[in-house]
Amino acid sequence: MVKVPGMKVPAASLGASVCLGVLCAASAFAQASQPASLGTITVTGQAESGYQPLRASPAMRTDAPLLDIPQAVNVVTETVIRDQAARSLDDVLGNISGITQTNTLGGTQDAFIRRGFGQNRDNAILTNGMKTVLPRSFNATTQRVEVMKGPASTLFGIQDPGGAINVVTKRPERVFSGEASVGASSFGGGNGMVDVTGPIAGTSLAYRLIGSHNNTEYWRNFGRNKEWLFSPSLSWFGERTVVTASYMRQGYSIPFDRGTIWDIDAGGPIPLDRKIRLDEPFNVTDGHSALTTLNVSHELSPDWRVTFDYSYSTDDYADNQARVMAYNAATGAVTRRVDATRGSSMIGHAARLDLTGTARLGGMKHDLLMGAEYDYHRTLRSDMIRCPQAVSFNINRPAYGSVQTCNRVVATDSDQYERLRSPSVYFQDAIHLNDQWIMVAGARYQQYKQISGRGRPFVLNTDTSGSKFVPRVGAVYKATPSTSFYANVAKSFRPQSSFSSYMGNLPPEEGLTYEVGAKWEMARGLTANLAVYTADKENVTYFENVNGVIETRAAGKVRSRGVEMDVSGRLTDQWSVIASYAFTDAVVKEDPDYTGKQLANVARHTASLFAMYDFGVLDNGNGFKLGAGVRGVSKRPGINDNSYFLPGYGVVDAMAAYTFNTRNPVTVQLNLRNLFDRTYFSSSLGSSRYGNAYGEPFNATLSASVRF
């Protein structure tokens, strides 16, 4: 049994028009200003310029410009993350088309739908191109976030056809720099961060040390978010070899909050203030996660490079919850069951060896990638605690403390165990037929062995193995040096398992996607892409309630079709923008129960716009900038049978930052989220009406940072 020690942590549209109108008015008297360059930390191997992404090397495994890639790739740059004061991947990915939140397990996991597909723990979130078991991947080490749309199985193995999300972390640099910051939240509490990097004198080494701490009040009527992080890294720079080792350890104690109940007969949420929780103060997840990585890159020649990557990740946690099981609308009575998970651990190993290079064959240039990869993933949930149900809450008279945590271990549901081993080899060739045409072809051969089961005594319910050949083919036509059109066809696959003997072996999910699109890089520094796609996936899993227990089952076939548009970069020397729109039509095509139904948590329309105006250097030598934006999501099914829909919403955000251009620049920044205090729902469980997550109400964060 894994023991998790207790962790101690030290003490809408109209609105957007108004906000953007203020920015436009302000710009009228600042046209002569020059944009400030106030102590920016430089990044080795530039992948971005302000809001404009230039490359996505870790995501694509080659150093190709985005224009040369026959697939939609979107990047949220470090500058955007800083201006928006992003606190999570949810904040970051709100800038990207076609992404919505799905079941986050009470706010404890990253969980995103991409192009209609996705769930929590689906291997879609990578760190520096490697799979991990981290529950939440965004933290103080994050530099930028890349999203590769469509099937990624050829490059990254086991994946959904919706795409992969890659979190790129900060690396040691050979020029000394640093930053320290503190912040305060209108909810109560605050955070701090320090980031220092530089060379080690007299050696070929460079270091980076990042630490952060967060202790803020939860916005609902009880709970606190407590997190700390420590991350050292070291790089050795040889003549032709660079070796980087890093370690990250993060502790967390966060609310386990499943939100509110949807009253299907009334056509909306139960009549209870959004701040009032339906659970208990002991609804908390406590744990710690860690990530150890090694990257070795050796230049064989000016045209060829060999790269080795390894990552080892862990997540150990325990949680308690008062789970809603039933609701009586006539009396307001809520039936709850106290549950807990104790001794839960996840371990992930990922190793990869790449050979990349350029060769001329048949009079044409070939950008080649070949390699081998091994992934290992193990999950163990030791003690599954399930207490008797009780009518222990009433929405008309909210009160807490009528139920307590208990120690009733259910033997048949405990020792949930899953293990996946998967070796693979792959190859990709980007053939430059001439100055305008690029053909890309690649394939991966992947083997897998997966087992899972549960119970005391242990019952093996999934025992499956197999192999899969996963190809992709694409083409790029560069009409001009700044405009390209592309098309691609790709397959994806993902093995599946179930802890339950009710399901037994599940067939692998298999996907096939067709995509065409266009990309532009405009003179002032603006990047845009348009994509149209259709994707089919077979053997899609759903979560259902079977005799009071949430189980997994496979459907027949689902289809997602859509159009996406993303724009990011500079409009003028002062104006920067990041914007997106997506239409997504994701429906069940073949299934005994759900044929014709929309997929849960998939919105047909999503849109976002964030604009920032940089006043440049003011008369006193300091810098000032203002920004505002809106995020919109249309209605989407809250449950698999489409018996209710979460309403659409639009949320307005704004920011202002003032930089004192002293020897060590100091920036004071104010970020306002949900400026007009809109009540909205960010996601649902999808399997029942008893878990619908509220989005945050209006809140403000004030921060001060110094660079040195």
Helix (H, G, I), strand (E, B) or coil at 81: helix
- Rounded distance between C-alpha atoms, residue 196 and residue 592, angstroms: 57
Give the chain's radius of gyration (CA, Å): 25
Distance in angstroms (rounded) separating the CA atoms of residues 117 and 110: 14
Residue 1, judged by CB atoms within 10 A of its CB (0-12, 13-18, 19+), counts as exposed
Of 43-52, 151-160, 220-229, 267-276, give the lowest mean pLDDT range: 43-52
pLDDT at 1: 39
Q: What does DSSP assign to residue 67?
A: G
How do residues 66-97 score in pLDDT, each as one tens digit?
999 999 999 999 999 999 999 999 999 999 99
In this model, does residue 162 exceed pLDDT 70? Answer: yes
Task: Find the mean pLDDT for residues 200-211.
Answer: 98
Q: How far is CA 213 from CA 88, 189, 356, 439, in A?
A: 14, 11, 39, 47
**pLDDT at site 541:** 72
pLDDT value at position 408? 96
Res 46: pLDDT: 53
The pLDDT of 362-372, averaged and rounded, is: 95
The pLDDT assigned to 556 comes to 80
Is the model's pLDDT at 404 over the cut of 50?
yes
Rounded-to-integer distance, Cα 139 and Cα 134, Å: 11
Distance of CA 405 to the CA centre of its chain: 32
Percentage of the chain with pLDDT > 70? 90
Rounded mean pLDDT of 224-248? 98
Which tokens sit at 451?
A: 């087992």
Q: What pLDDT is recorded for position 505?
A: 79
pLDDT for residue 363 is more than 70:
yes
Question: What's residue 592's pLDDT?
Answer: 84
Provide the mean pLDDT of the chain: 91
Comparing 38-52, 115-129, 464-478, which segment has the lowest mean pLDDT?
A: 38-52
Q: Encode 203-238 in three state secondary structure.
A: CCEEEEEEEEEEEEECCCCCCEEEEEEEEEEEEEEC
User: Where residue 61 falls among pLDDT bands split at 50, 70, 90?
Assistant: confident
Angle 84-87-92 from CA coordinates, rounded to 5°: 60
Q: Which residue has the higher pLDDT, 424 or 495?
A: 424
> How many other CB atoms sit within 10 Å of the CB of residue 348?
22
- Work out the number of other CB atoms within 10 angstroms of the CB of residue 561: 17
Count how many Cα atoms sit within 13 Å of the Cα of residue 48 in the half-sphere of its side chain.
25
pLDDT higher than 60, residue 41? no
Under 8 Å between Cβ of 574 and 35: yes
State residue 264's pLDDT score.
Answer: 96
DSSP three-state, residue 151:
coil
What pLDDT is stored for residue 506 in this prediction?
81
**Phi, psi of 67, rounded to the nearest 5 degrees:** -65, -25
Give me the residue label for tokens 């079709």.
561
Give residue-wise pLDDT tens across range 524-581: 789 999 999 999 999 877 666 555 555 666 668 999 999 999 999 999 999 999 999 9
Predicted confidence (pLDDT) per residue in 305-360, tens digit: 999 999 999 999 999 999 999 999 999 999 999 999 999 999 999 999 999 999 99
When mean pLDDT is compared across 19-23, 109-113, 251-255, 426-430, the lowest value belongs to 19-23
Q: What is the mean pLDDT of residues 364-378?
A: 97
pLDDT score recorded for residue 591: 86
Note the pLDDT of residue 35: 38
- Read off the pLDDT of residues 569-619 as tens digits, 9 standing for 90 and up: 999 999 999 999 999 999 999 888 889 999 999 999 999 999 999 999 999
The whole-number average pLDDT for the span 613-642 is 96
Q: Say what the pLDDT of residue 44 is.
A: 37
- β-pair type (163-169, 125-127): parallel
User: How does pLDDT run across 257-308, given as a tens digit for each residue?
Assistant: 999 999 999 999 999 999 999 999 999 999 999 999 999 999 999 999 999 9
Residue type present at position 563: V
pLDDT of residue 42: 32
pLDDT, average across residues 393-415? 96
Least reliable range by pLDDT among 56-60, 475-479, 699-703: 56-60
Q: Is the pLDDT of residue 34 over 70?
A: no
The SS3 of residue 520 is strand
Domains in the chain: ranges and CATH: 13-598+612-618+638-646+677-707 (2.40.170.20)
User: Quick one: pLDDT at residue 555?
Assistant: 64
DSSP per residue over 411-476, as a string?
A: GGG-SEEEEEEEEEEEEEEEEE-SSSEEEEEEEEEEEEEEEEEETTTTEEEEEEEEEEEEEEEEEE
Residue 49 pLDDT = 72
The pLDDT value given to residue 19: 40
